[in-house]
Amino acid sequence: MMLTVTGGQWFFPLVIICLILGIVATIAQKKKLTKLKRITDNFAYAILVILLIIEWILYFQKQFNFITPAIYTLVVIYLIGRQLLIRYRSSLLKKLGAKYKQLTIGLATIYIILVTLLLLIGSKFSTMGWIIAGLVIVAFGFVSYIFEKDKQ
């Protein structure tokens, strides 16, 4: 219903807004403009949550199957959780010590397994689903490794 009201013409402007946010956030990070970086981050998270709500509304209107909003929900939870871990890194490092790294790796692994499982269920365990799940595991594992290596 919501997509028919707008005609589906909201996606391209959303992509443009996200690109602008990404560019502004990158510039703010390079020039050490923490206030601007915080504003762009908060705006990006607001967009994520709004899209999450739209996904679930479309699911309850029977326009999506359960897998699409479930995967998106996991992505949003992971991104917000990751930012919380980064924000409270110093205090968590004091409390947990070396276990902090194990915690971040464990959470990333659980996230990858859950997304992969949802993809397999959504594809009804077809051959293509297994191939896509394998590619997701490799891609997410590589990205997670890059993030962890960058933090050190």
Residue 102 is which amino acid?
Q
Domain chopping of the chain, boundaries: 17-62, 65-146
Cα–Cα distance for residue pair 104/4, rounded to 1 Å: 41
User: pLDDT digit string (tens) for 35-76?
Assistant: 888 888 888 888 888 888 888 888 888 877 787 788 778 878
Residues near 81 by Cβ (< 8 Å), separated by ≥ 6? Answer: 107
Which residue intervals of 31-66 are DSSP H helices?
Answer: 34-60
Q: Which two tokens mark 139?
A: 């891609």
Closest Cα to residue 45, out of 16, 12, 78, 7? 78
User: pLDDT digit string (tens) for 22-36?
Assistant: 788 888 888 888 888
Q: How far is CA 97 from the centre of its chain?
A: 26
CB 123 within 8 A of CB 136: no
* pTM of the model as a whole: 0.62
pLDDT at 1 over 50: no
